[in-house]
């Protein structure tokens, strides 16, 4: 019996933090030695399955792996077949390198150099940002950062929102930068375990709370409301010293730079990135994108139709549009958010 020939049609796939290898059965082979490398040069033996497949359950998420597969029997082993690099990711996630390859496959441009690697990466990131904005807009609580908490100083009415770069307001490390504000809470009695929800002030009412007869009690400043001003929260009236403020927000996305960088916050919807990036590449070529555009429209419709919990509880308005007391004149004491406390 002679040593078998090398395996044909070797395929490598990743998912759920694992890597799956498969190939055609080789005549005369009794085992299929599998080896793994992180640099494509130095390989370490993993296993020698007797079937034409192998599931690598020891792979580490976010690491690039290369695999070699041989066919072997009692008379020797075949030459090794080396796979392309692959990066395992968790279920629903994908890395830049994998997303780019899938977008190239979808556009049927795997071996085309008309669209450069940096251009493909740029398309992936643009599509990634577009999808993220769509998801956090139609879903109320799709992707939230850790709550950002700070204390007021009794002097300032404006306080910086987290920017992801510079630690502020007592942070030891920078909190993730803010993309979309979801809500603001106030701790009463200068405490951080008794919270009330603050409302925005409508812009037309910006002077209503400036000159109240009484602005605070033993619980702290009441009647306080907020508005975003630049990268700050503006409060009226000016809060007393030592009051706790808690900010709920959607974080800004981080750009995918390395092939191993994972697309985060879009679990389950990476198909949108693949289709949209393929459209962008084909548009550069002035090729037909009608089929892909139809697929993108279907994906958007699916996202919109599945977002049952929409953010409509507190729409942002220029001025109030309805009363809450059923009587009196506009802006009177019974008006929603009138002259009293919360």
Average pLDDT over the chain, rounded to an integer: 85
b/e per residue 66-96 (b: at least 16 CB within 10 A): bbbbbbbbeeebbebbebebbbbbeeebbbb
* Percent of the chain topping pLDDT 70: 85
Q: φ and ψ at 284, to 5 degrees?
A: -65, -35
pLDDT for residue 340: 38
Segment 300-324 shows an average pLDDT of 66
Q: How open is the CA angle 264-268-271, to the nearest 5 degrees?
A: 95
What is the C-alpha separation between 34 and 15, in angstroms, rounded?
Answer: 19
pLDDT for residue 55: 97
What is the C-alpha separation between 237 and 223, in angstroms, rounded?
Answer: 8
pLDDT, tens digit, 9 for 90 and up, residues 24-48: 999 999 999 999 999 999 999 999 9
Query: Exposure of 249 by Cβ count < 10 A (0-12 exposed, 13-18 middle, 19+ buried)?
Result: buried
pLDDT for residue 127: 97
Task: Specify the pTM.
Answer: 0.75
Segment 59-87 shows an average pLDDT of 94
Question: Which domains can be identified in the chain, with CATH numbers?
Answer: 11-82 (2.60.40.10), 96-140+265-306 (no CATH), 148-251 (no CATH)
Higher-pLDDT residue of 333 and 124 is 124
In this predicted structure, the answer to whether residue 75 has a pLDDT above a threshold of 70 is yes
At 169, the pLDDT band (50, 70, 90 cuts) reads confident
Q: What angle do helix axes 96-106 and 117-138 make, rounded to 10 degrees?
A: 100
Contact 96, 263 (CB under 8 A): yes
pLDDT for residue 203: 83
pLDDT for residue 152: 92
Reference 56, options 88, 85, 82; nearest CA is 88
pLDDT for residue 310: 56
pLDDT for residue 236: 87
In this predicted structure, the answer to whether residue 314 has a pLDDT above a threshold of 90 is no
What is the C-alpha separation between 242 and 191, in angstroms, rounded?
Answer: 8
In this predicted structure, the answer to whether residue 220 has a pLDDT above a threshold of 70 is no
In this predicted structure, the answer to whether residue 276 has a pLDDT above a threshold of 80 is yes
Q: φ and ψ at 182, to 5 degrees?
A: -105, -30
pLDDT for residue 70: 97
In this predicted structure, the answer to whether residue 91 has a pLDDT above a threshold of 60 is yes
């Amino acid at each position: 019996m002679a040593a078998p020939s090398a395996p044909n049609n070797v395929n490598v796939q990743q998912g759920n933090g694992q890597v799956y290898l498969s190939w055609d059965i080789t005549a005369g082979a009794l085992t299929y030695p599998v080896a793994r490398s992180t640099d494509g040069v130095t390989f370490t033996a993993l296993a020698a399955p007797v079937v034409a497949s192998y599931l690598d359950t020891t792979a580490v998420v976010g690491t690039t792996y290369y695999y070699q597969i041989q066919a072997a029997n009692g008379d020797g082993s075949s030459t090794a077949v080396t796979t392309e690099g692959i990066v395992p990711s968790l279920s629903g996630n994908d890395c830049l390198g994998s997303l780019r390859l899938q977008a190239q496959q979808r556009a049927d441009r795997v071996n085309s150099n008309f669209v450069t690697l940096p251009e493909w990466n740029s398309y992936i990131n643009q599509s990634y940002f577009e999808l993220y904005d769509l998801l956090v807009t139609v879903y109320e609580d799709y992707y939230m950062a850790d709550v950002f908490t700070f204390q007021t100083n009794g002097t300032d009415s404006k306080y910086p929102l987290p920017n992801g770069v510079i630690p502020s307001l007592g942070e030891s490390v920078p909190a993730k930068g803010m993309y979309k504000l979801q809500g603001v809470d106030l701790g009463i009695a200068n405490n951080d375990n008794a919270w009330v929800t603050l409302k925005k002030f409508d812009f037309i009412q910006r002077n209503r709370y400036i000159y109240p007869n009484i602005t605070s009690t033993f619980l702290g400043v009441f009647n306080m409301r907020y508005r975003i001003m630049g990268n700050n929260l503006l409060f009226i009236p000016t809060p007393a010293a030592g009051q706790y403020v808690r900010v709920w927000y959607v974080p800004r996305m981080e750009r995918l730079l390395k092939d191993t960088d994972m697309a985060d916050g879009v679990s389950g919807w990476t198909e949108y990135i693949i289709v949209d990036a393929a459209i962008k590449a084909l548009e550069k070529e002035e090729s037909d994108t009608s089929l892909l555009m139809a697929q993108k429209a279907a994906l958007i419709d699916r996202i919109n139709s599945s977002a049952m919990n929409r953010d409509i509880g507190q729409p942002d308005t220029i001025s109030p549009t309805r009363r809450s007391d059923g009587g009196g004149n506009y802006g009177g004491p019974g008006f929603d958010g009138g002259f009293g406390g919360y």
